[in-house]
Structures are given as structure tokens and as C-alpha cells.
Amino acid sequence: MLKINKKVEYALMALKFMADKTPTLSINGQSNEQITLTSAREICDEFNTPFDTTAKVMQLMNNHEILKSVKGIKGGYSLNKDLSKITYMNLVRLIEGKEVGRVCITNKGTCELFGKCNIVSPIELLNRKLNLFLETLSLADLLQGADFNPRHIHAQLIINTQEKTL
């Protein structure tokens, strides 16, 4: 199972909350006639997340222009980018500064079977395919809980694999 960093979870929670409460700006980034502001405190109160971490994550998203901030007593954040144009992997890199963790049969940082493991190649293949999938998964699709057609995913992975080898 993919392990998601808490900061990435808080970012996803904030983005979904903001998209859901903004009536004229859908998760797919439709019209932007009315801007609804959301504070870090509001996110913390709604989801019982730690304020300092949540505020830092929202500031980070603001610094990378995913969110837009309005200063002042009635200030807060609003969505600034179309979430269908940002991939899950983009968000992970922005928050964590690195790729998604490697998938292996152990939860430890290093495997005690290293050097004797007979599934290194299959695990490497799984890692490559997982990363390719996460490179194509938009935040809009993820946050909407979109059902994915496995054939579409497979076709997209093939296309992406071919593009990366060219």
C-alpha cells in the first residue's frame, strides 16, 4: 500500500475542502466569478489537523501559486490553479521535495534481504509503473474520486513509457 506523508494528506484535505466550498470554481477549475477564502484555522477546525503544519503546507502551496493568499482580518486562501493541471506527483514533490517512496515488502528503510532477494526486478517494475501512474493522476481526478478505466490507465502508462524512452 502506498504510504502518504501527513503533509501531503493535509494539502489534499485543504484543496478538496476549498474546491468543495467554492461554488463557482469547481475542482476542474471552471469559472472564477466568486472567490471564497479559506483560512488555515478553518481547515484545522474542520479536520482536526495541527495548525502549524497545516499553515506551513498552505503557505507552501501559496508560494508555488497553487493557492492565492489574501492578507488581513478577513483574509485567507483561495484556489489559484486548475487542479486538473496539477498531478499528484507534482504535489508530492512540492511538499516533500522528492519522489514517492519506494514500494517494497518491508516498511523499513533498508531491506534485510538485500542481495538475496529474488523479487528485485518485479519490485523495480512496480515502482516504475506506480510512479508513471502518479505522474498522470491529476489532483482533480484524485479529489473527485474518479473511477479509472484500467484500459485507459494501461494505455496511458504505455504512452508515458514510450515518451520517456524516446
**What digits encode the pLDDT tens for the residues 61-101?**
999 999 999 998 889 999 999 899 999 999 999 998 866 65
Write down the mean pLDDT value for the chain.
Answer: 80
For the stretch 27-71, pLDDT in tens is 555 555 567 899 999 999 999 999 999 999 999 999 999 999 999
Q: How far is CA 92 from CA 11, 31, 60, 127, 164, in A?
A: 10, 27, 12, 15, 20
Domains of the chain: 6-165 (1.10.10.10)
Element (H, E) at 77: strand 76-79
Higher pLDDT: 15 or 125? It is 15
